[in-house]
């Protein structure tokens, strides 16, 4: 499935994502296997064991580092930094990652900075602004400036080595990246983001999630086509509250 999705993507996409390899949303080139993974009972049981009985799905990607590709830049994936909830321990957005090969430092395993979802780290203060407001600079995205701190060893980082098929669960606010892939094989991960406790999120966050869905025709199509199996995981909001703004940078409230 992941190879099939990679084969559908335009060559330019790979050029623009050299350090990541590629990042292809599941609803861009829908494949039944990705939908099965999103609803995978054992993963949902793992969430239930953590106390999350009624999660909702958000987004998800095939992220595939080609052979001999540079490290991925440090980043976090929280989008609620304009809301006070991000500065609390209340569960928000979680990533579930499935690596399709055994990973280690040599072939580009994940690395994370434990606790960085709740505590400020020097990496939060990097000037990421570029002419395209708020975007990671191209020299970091394309890993052409390997001396940039976002591409360097970071204080407190640890490796997360896994066996193919392990499930890695984490808070999306966590600072993470991956090592360079120095092997001759692709290193693919399937990442799916859920809202583990959707019903406990404030309505203005529900509204943001809803706006995100209704703004994406390809996601709406995916939701319609997979409704018979994914319905229980689709976040639905019918209110008219103003959505909190999309906030992908922590404010000074993160200390």
Ligand X SMILES: O=C(O)CCC(=O)C(=O)O
Nearer to ligand X, 57 or 237 (CB): 57
Shortest separation between residue 162's beta carbon and ligand X, angstroms:
10
DSSP per residue, 184-198? SS-EEEEEEEEETTG
Applying CB under 6 A, the residues found at the interface with ligand X are 63, 72, 77, 95, 97, 110, 176, 178, 189, 191
Q: How far is CA 110 from CA 55, 193, 199, 237, in A?
A: 24, 16, 30, 34
Q: How far apart, in Å, do the first and last CA atoms of the chain sit?
A: 42
Cα 179 to Cα 159: distance, rounded to the nearest angstrom: 9
Burial label, 171 (beta-carbon count in 10 A; 0-12, 13-18, 19+): buried
Shortest separation between residue 61's beta carbon and ligand X, angstroms:
6
DSSP per residue, 92-130? --EEEEEESS---TTBT-EEE-TTTTTS--GGGGS----
Nearer to ligand X, 182 or 242 (CB): 182
Nearer to ligand X, 55 or 170 (CB): 170
Shortest separation between residue 95's beta carbon and ligand X, angstroms:
6
Nearer to ligand X, 70 or 91 (CB): 70
Nearer to ligand X, 121 or 237 (CB): 121
Shortest separation between residue 87's beta carbon and ligand X, angstroms:
21
Shortest separation between residue 128's beta carbon and ligand X, angstroms:
15
């Amino acid at each position: 499935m992941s190879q099939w999705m990679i084969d559908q993507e335009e060559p330019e996409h790979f050029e623009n994502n050299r350090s990541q390899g590629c990042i292809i949303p599941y609803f861009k080139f829908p494949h039944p296997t990705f939908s099965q993974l999103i609803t995978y009972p054992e993963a949902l049981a793992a969430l239930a064991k953590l106390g999350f009985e009624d999660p909702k799905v958000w987004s998800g990607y095939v992220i595939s580092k080609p052979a001999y590709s540079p490290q991925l830049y440090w980043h976090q994936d929280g989008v609620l930094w304009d809301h006070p909830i991000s500065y609390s321990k209340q569960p928000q957005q979680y990533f579930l990652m499935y690596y399709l090969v055994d990973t280690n430092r040599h072939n580009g395993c994940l690395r994370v900075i434990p606790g960085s979802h709740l505590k400020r780290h020097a990496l939060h203060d990097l000037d990421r602004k570029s002419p395209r407001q708020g975007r990671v600079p191209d020299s970091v995205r394309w890993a052409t400036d390997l001396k940039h701190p976002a591409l360097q060893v970071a204080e407190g980082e640890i490796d997360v080595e896994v066996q193919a098929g392990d499930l890695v669960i984490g808070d999306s606010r966590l600072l993470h990246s991956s090592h360079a892939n120095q092997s001759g094989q692709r290193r693919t991960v399937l990442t799916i983001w859920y809202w583990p406790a959707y019903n406990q999120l404030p309505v203005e966050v529900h509204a943001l999630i809803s706006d995100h869905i209704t703004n994406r025709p390809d996601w709406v199509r995916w939701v319609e086509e997979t409704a018979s199996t994914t319905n229980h995981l689709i976040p639905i909001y019918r209110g008219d509250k103003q959505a909190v703004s999309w906030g992908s940078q922590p404010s000074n409230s993160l200390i």
